[in-house]
């Protein structure tokens, strides 16, 4: 499974990349606004950190506007993936940009039917939002299972399932078990994956025993 980092904070991306935990990055207008920086500058810096796909989202709502913005975003770096919403206009833009060779991430997916439409439009990635479904007492993981199964039924569909709105490690583990291709995780959730009390306890014991020997490796 590929790990994308869901943030526009360059320092976090660089830190996680040093540990080999970054296969790509996803951003959106809310994350860009939170960073307080110029969008194109941020995207360019992120693209320089990772050679993987970096999703940059359009803000137009009509197909022509999305296509124009998508072309401008692609000009920032070759690894930009244009992010479009799962609307009819978004799918028109997806088809046009994909036919022009762009990577396209279709976002705000909440049903398997929507995911099938995005795949037929040529999406590189489909982004189902599991956390937001859980928030309204729906089953986010059921959606992932349905999309993965549908895509497996048709080998001509090349769209990858990119699990989004991941709130905790269980979302990630369950998505991996179901066969999702990618998960995009906020930096704090990636770091949560590292934590286990038995790891901490074991390390403390090893270091205490080593200290008793009076030795030094260097």
DSSP string across 32-58: HHHHTS-HHHHHHHHHHH-SS-EEEE-
Predicted local confidence at residue 132, as pLDDT: 97
DSSP type of residue 125:
E
Average pLDDT on 148-153 reads: 98
- Cα angle 48-61-97, degrees, rounded to a multiple of 5: 50
Helix H or strand E segment including 128: strand 125-128
Supply the residues annotated as catalytic: 83
Predicted local confidence at residue 10, as pLDDT: 97
Average pLDDT on 72-101 reads: 98
Predicted local confidence at residue 27, as pLDDT: 98
Predicted local confidence at residue 75, as pLDDT: 98
Find all residues with CB under 8 Å of 148, minimum gap 6, and list them.
161, 178, 179, 180
Average pLDDT on 131-155 reads: 97
Predicted local confidence at residue 117, as pLDDT: 98
| CA 111 – CA 129 distance, rounded (Å) | 9
Predicted local confidence at residue 196, as pLDDT: 94
pTM of the model: 0.94
Predicted local confidence at residue 110, as pLDDT: 98
What's the token pair of residue 133?
Answer: 């479904």
Confidence of residue 103 (pLDDT cuts 50, 70, 90): very high
Name the average pLDDT for the chain: 97
State percent of the chain over pLDDT 90: 100
Helix H or strand E segment including 192: helix 187-193
Average pLDDT on 113-132 reads: 98
Confidence of residue 208 (pLDDT cuts 50, 70, 90): very high
Domains and CATH numbers, the chain: 2-213 (3.20.20.70)
Q: Report the 10 Å Cβ neighbour count for 43.
A: 22
């Amino acid at each position: 499974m590929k790990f994308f980092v869901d943030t526009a904070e360059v320092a976090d991306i660089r830190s996680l990349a040093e540990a080999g935990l970054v296969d790509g990055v996803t951003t959106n207008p809310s994350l860009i606004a939170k960073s307080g920086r110029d969008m194109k500058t941020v995207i360019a810096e992120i693209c320089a950190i990772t050679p993987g796909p970096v999703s940059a989202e359009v803000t137009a709502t009509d197909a022509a506007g999305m296509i124009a913005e998508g072309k401008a975003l692609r000009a920032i770096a070759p690894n930009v993936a244009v992010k479009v919403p799962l609307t009819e206009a978004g799918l028109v833009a997806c088809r046009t940009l994909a036919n022009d060779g762009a990577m396209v991430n279709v976002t705000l997916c909440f049903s398997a039917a929507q995911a099938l439409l995005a795949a037929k439009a040529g999406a590189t990635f489909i982004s189902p939002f599991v956390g937001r479904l859980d928030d309204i007492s729906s089953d986010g993981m059921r959606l992932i299972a349905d999309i993965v199964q549908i895509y497996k039924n048709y080998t001509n569909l090349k769209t990858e399932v990119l699990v989004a709105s991941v709130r905790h490690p269980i979302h990630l583990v369950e998505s991996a078990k179901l066969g999702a291709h990618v998960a995009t995780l906020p930096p704090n959730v990636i770091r949560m994956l590292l934590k286990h009390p038995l790891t901490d306890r074991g390390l403390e014991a090893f270091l205490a025993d080593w200290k008793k020997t009076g030795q030094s490796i260097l």
